[in-house]
């Protein structure tokens, strides 16, 4: 049996050799440290508990100027990756904030099949979603925190998105197609959920195989060859 360094009893001193973990910094301090570090920001990968915790609702903890700086750094990091969405926990900040932007630079047939229309840059604060219809769409997607792999996820084709933007303006709108997929993926991050949690396990594909074999507009061929079901 291996020793689990997290196995300490609350209220008792840590066993010899295991330093007491420092108290986590307050959120403004944590963000200031991040903003004084390298750019693009380092992206947290799967296995870090910050990706598995429910993020803290944002209620102004950072102040407007620091929030604006964090958002600019997240946007730069998303562009550099490159990606079409980035949630604050992915840069180690446990707040319910995400940035989204998709130029939808794909060929016309792929764009049509996937409902991939350009999504101008936007910020979601404390977002939530619910289905706005029964239709589901299954496509390959990936995550900057799970580099090198993609898998098929069946998601609601249309969702009702609520929350706020970065100015505090209330959002209540319907989003469809690929933007709806991005909204669901990023909002899930803020609740400790990774796309793999509801992916088709047998669809898992390396980026290399995805590029070589499964770049068709839909994952129908992959479903047949790898043995997974698509929603009907
Ligand atoms: Zn992700």
For residue 232, report the distance from its CA to the centre of ligand 1, in Å. Answer: 25
Q: What is residue 25's predicted lDDT score, i.e. its pLDDT?
A: 78
In angstroms, the CA 65 to CA 84 distance is 24
Number of structural domains the chain divides into: 1
Q: Is 16 exposed, middle or buried (0-12, 13-18, 19+ CB in 10 A)?
A: exposed
- Residue 107 maps to a domain: yes
Residue 3 Cα to ligand 1 midpoint, Å, equals: 31
What is the extent of the structural domain holding 208? Answer: 5-226
Instruction: Render pLDDT for 27-79 as a digit per residue (tens, 0 to 9).
Output: 999 999 999 999 999 999 999 999 999 999 999 999 999 999 999 999 999 99
**Residue 153 belongs to domain with CATH number:** 3.90.45.10
- Strand ranges inside the chain, DSSP E: 85-87, 97-102, 119-131, 136-142, 149-156, 158-164, 170-176, 205-206
Determine the distance separating the centroid of ligand 1 and the alpha carbon of 2, expressed in angstroms. Answer: 31
191 inside domain? yes
Predicted structure pTM score: 0.90
In a domain, 231, yes or no: no
pLDDT, tens digit, for every residue of 109-154?
999 999 999 999 999 999 999 999 999 999 999 999 999 999 999 9
Does a structural domain hold residue 232? no
**164-183 average pLDDT score:** 98
The residue to which tokens 């959002």 are assigned? 171
- Cα(74)–Cα(52) distance, integer angstroms: 19
Rounded to an integer, the average pLDDT of 9-18 is 59
186 a catalytic residue: yes
pLDDT over 80 (residue 8): no
94 phi and psi, to 5 degrees?
Answer: -85, 55
């Amino acid at each position: 049996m291996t020793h689990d360094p997290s196995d300490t009893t609350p209220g008792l001193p840590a066993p010899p050799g295991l330093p007491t973990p420092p108290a986590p910094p307050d959120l403004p301090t944590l963000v200031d440290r991040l903003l004084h570090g390298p750019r693009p920001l380092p992206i947290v990968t799967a296995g870090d508990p910050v990706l598995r915790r429910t993020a803290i609702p944002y209620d102004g903890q950072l102040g407007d100027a620091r929030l604006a700086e964090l958002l600019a750094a997240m946007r730069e990091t998303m562009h550099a990756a490159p990606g079409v969405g980035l949630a604050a926990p992915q840069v180690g900040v446990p707040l319910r904030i995400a940035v989204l932007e998709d130029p939808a630079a794909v060929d016309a047939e792929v764009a049509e099949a996937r409902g991939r229309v350009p999504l101008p840059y936007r910020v979601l604060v404390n977002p939530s979603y619910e289905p706005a219809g029964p239709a589901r769409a299954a496509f390959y997607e990936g995550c900057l925190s799970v580099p090198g792999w993609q898998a098929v996820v069946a998601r609601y084709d249309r969702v009702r998105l609520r929350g706020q933007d970065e100015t505090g303006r209330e959002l209540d709108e319907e989003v469809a197609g690929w933007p709806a997929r991005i909204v669901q993926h990023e909002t899930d991050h803020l609740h400790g959920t990774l796309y793999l949690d509801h992916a088709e396990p047998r669809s898992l594909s390396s980026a290399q195989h995805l590029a070589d074999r499964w770049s068709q507009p839909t994952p129908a061929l992959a479903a047949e060859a790898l043995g997974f079901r698509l929603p009907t």
